[in-house]
Structure 1
Amino acid sequence: MSEDFLSQEEIDALLGEKKEEKEEEKIAPLDFSKLEHVKKGGVPGLDLLFEKWLKIYGEEIRRLIPQVAMVSKETVFITRFQSFMSKIPMPASYSIASMKPLKENFLLVLDSRLVFVIISVLFGGPAKPFKVEGREFTRLELKIIRSVVELTLETFESVWKNIYPVELELKGIELNPTLARIASGNEKVIVVECSMDIEGYEAPFFFCFPQSMFMPIRDIIFSESFLTEKDPIWDAQLRKKVLKTKVKLTLELARKKLRMGDILNWKVGDKINLEVSKKDLFRLYVEETPKFLVRLGKVKDKYAALISKFISGDGNGRRGKEPGRDSRTEGENTGGEAKG
């Protein structure tokens, strides 16, 4: 009886259906370099600096755009430059600026929504971005963008004045992101995301700094100690300690090269002629470091040195020749020196 029934395989064969062979899934290795890593925080000094800047900028931007209700800082994070640029909608304004004496450039990015809302309210329209359909900014829009950027950089420079004096310069405004590359794609950047509230509509703008840009002043950017208030009592105590600190002073009259054979032949009563005069300038050392140029003198019955000028150089007084010194007093760091 069972032979009168067809098996499932025979039914599939009659209907022309074939079982699909499952392809083995290929497992690809994970490329960690392509993973996006966003690190929030970690730059408390820069965070506090922007908080201080926003108070100044909020007042100044309202003079240019009265409809601005508030400017706020959303977040500070560290990411890769390529990842940051890929998330900016087009069109956008990329302002390249330098911060001398720091070497690298940074970006000030104005989102297209912010630009078109500013343009709308300035010409009497509502605080809503209008459709742009991928077009570029017009000359009038670029002029307004430049005014906003220049004001932003001017106020940002003023905040640095008492922290680390810098000079900001606008290098140019680009609309093509490929022309606004301030770092390689995989290089880490510090992004400060801000927003501007214009009659209830919030639109973003960004500061983008290469992380390596702040390495010379990392103690300022990556800590918050520079904005802490000074304790006047602690300052007074420190001043007293410094003024009571004892240091060793050494006046160098001359340096002379002498042969070791001549030194071995010295006898009691031999004289060394230093060949110096009252008109010469001499080095005054503070703890083995030359700090002053002085002239010889006498006060009552004691010899004295009159400080003529500070020794300039690389910070420790050891570089370069000082004006007014005779070549015989310069000397060299070789053996057989006579130091008075």
Structure 2
Amino acid sequence: MTTSDRDNVDAAPKNEPLSPEGMAAEWATMPDIVEEEGEPEGGTDRLMSQEEIDTMLGFSLGDEKEGRNGIQAIVDSGSVSYERLPMLEIIFERLVRLLSTSLRNFFTDNVEVTLESIRSVRFGDYMNSISQPAMLSVFKCEEWDNFGLITIESALTYSVLDTMFGGKRGQPAPRVDGRPFTSIEIRLIRRVISLILSDAEAAFKPLSPVNFTIDRIESNPRFVSISRPANAAIRVELKFDMEGRGGALHILLPYATIEPIRDLLLESFMGEKLGRDPIWENHLATEVWQTDVPVTCVLHETQMPLKRMMNLEIGDTLMFDARPDAVVSLRCGDFIVSDGRIGRVDDKIAVQIVSPLRRSKTTIAAFDTNHLSHSS
């Protein structure tokens, strides 16, 4: 850079903005000035453009969340991202089918229930997103020793109340703002929540029997802190449609609540049937009937000291306390099948059955009845 050029740059008015050509010339000559002054190369600070700032922060226009980088990528890394639970989706799909039938019988009206989404959220973020007024029900999972939450939006609450009081079909339920829910309204909604929890028990029963009981019903989110704000939870959104009326219902299960059955929820589910397979049972029964099992005839049993057993020699005689016509036992393994008497047929020793076979008293139906009585 010559002395005349430097004088022209210095002589430019400081208050007037430089033209694009002058600004480019100044940026191009700045490294030369730094080198002449003896400073190390690259030691001069310069202003960053808006595009460079957006790139560093990760807020560039048109970028998707998956493609962000920089500071925004660090911020987004705090979002909840947990493993999928395949069995949980199947359970709530069964809950939707059960609710569709139960609510039709309860309201004596057509009720359509759909599963909108199942996603992971932070408990604190979910509580801040609840719009008021809302009906919040805390329920306890007895076998899991923890709590869950049911949130009924105001639109669904008033639709349920309007349906139960005989409102006209096809019209949205009137919404009354500025007042809390009355005791009658809470009692009616409590019956609907009890019905939902009952169907939820039936949906979870094939995987893990559990009892859901209503702990309390609140209208203020501050009084339903069942988990820490930073803890993760599963939020299930159900949509209810009652011929033009309806709304959304959320079921919130903290990860700490479903931790006892986490291994079961991670299993892959094949098929639609949850329970016993009758085809396999029939095949197993057919094979059992055709199986050969050894049967042992026990003439007599006695006990003697170990010292005498060790002194037995060839030719010694053991006396049995049994008569020739005494009843002997027929055994299959360690189980006594029947009793009989020893005889002879031609040149073979035979056993005549003298008592009916001792069948097992535990059948499949008796086993199921006993299991249901213990689980209930």
Provide the TM-score with structure 2 as the length reference: 0.53
Aligned 1:5-154 pairs, distance under 5 A = 8-9=13-14, 30-31=74-75, 34-37=78-81, 42-66=84-108, 68-121=110-163, 122=165, 124=167, 126-128=171-173, 130=175, 132-133=177-178, 135-154=179-198
- On the 8 A contact 2:80/2:232 being kept in 1, the answer is no
Specify which of 261, 266, 269 is matched with residue 224 of structure 1: 269
Higher relative helix content: 2
Q: Partner residue of 2:321?
A: none
**Counterpart among 212, 232, 243 of residue 168 in structure 1:** 212
CA contact (8 A) 1:163 1:226 kept: no
* Pair 112,244 (structure 1): closer, same or farther in 2 beyond 3 Å: same
Distance 1:36 1:92 in 2: 25
Name the amino acid aligned to 2:185. Answer: E
Q: CA deviation at 1:10?
A: 5.8
Alpha-carbon distance in structure 2 between the residues aligned to 1:60 and 1:130: 26
Q: Is the 8 A contact 1:127 1:198 kept in 2?
A: no
The residue number in structure 2 matching 1:157 is 201
Given that 1:114 and 1:129 are in contact with CA atoms closer than 8 Å, whether structure 2 keeps it comes out as no
Distance 1:92-1:244 versus aligned 2 partners, 3 A rule: farther
CA distance in 1, matches of 2:255, 2:197: 19
Q: Distance in 2 between matches of 1:36 and 1:217?
A: 17
Query: What residue in structure 1 maps to residue 67 of structure 2?
Result: none
More strand by share: 1
* Alpha-carbon distance, 1:76 to partner: 1.7
- Match of residue 255 from structure 2: 211
Aligned residue for 1:30, secondary structure, equals helix
Q: What CA distance in whole angstroms lies between the structure 2 residues aligned with 1:101 and 1:245? A: 42
Work out the CA distance in 2 between the residues paired with 1:299 and 1:220. 53
Query: Distance in 2 between the 1:219 and 1:32 partners?
Result: 30
CA contact (8 A) 1:37 1:80 kept: no
RMSD (Å), alpha carbons: 5.1
- Kindly provide the amino acid, as one letter, of the partner of residue 208 in structure 1: L
CA distance in 2, matches of 1:38, 1:185: 17
Can you give the 5+ residue segments of structure 2 that lack an aligned partner in the other structure?
1-10, 18-45, 58-69, 294-306, 314-332, 343-350, 352-357, 363-376
Q: Go from structure 1 to structure 2 and tell me whether the alpha carbon gap of 1:220 and 1:235 turns closer, same or farther (over 3 Å shift).
A: farther
With over 3 angstroms needed to count, the CA separation of the structure-2 counterparts of 1:206 and 1:221, relative to structure 1, is: farther
TM-superposition CA deviations, 1:226-256 (whole Å, max 9, x none): 8437654433444566789999xxxxxxxxx
For 1:141 and 1:238, how far apart are their aligned partners in 2?
55
- Asked if the contact 1:94/1:177 (under 8 Å) is kept, the reply is yes
The share of aligned pairs that are identical, in percent, is 22
Q: 1:299 Cα shift?
A: 7.0
Question: Number of residues paired by the alignment?
Answer: 275
- Alpha-carbon separation, structure 2, partners of 1:267 and 1:175: 87
2:90 alignment partner AA? L
1:167 CA displacement: 2.3
From 221, 231, 235, the equivalent of 1:191 is: 235
Measured after TM superposition, the shift of residue 204 of structure 1 is 0.5
2:74 aligns to what SS in structure 1?
coil
Conserved 8 A contact 2:148-2:226? yes
* Aligned partners of 1:36 and 1:83 also within 8 Å: no
Alignment of 1:234 onto 2:239? no
On the 8 A contact 2:136/2:218 being kept in 1, the answer is yes
Ranges in structure 1 where 5+ consecutive residues have no aligned partner:
1-5, 13-20, 248-262, 270-285, 287-291, 311-340
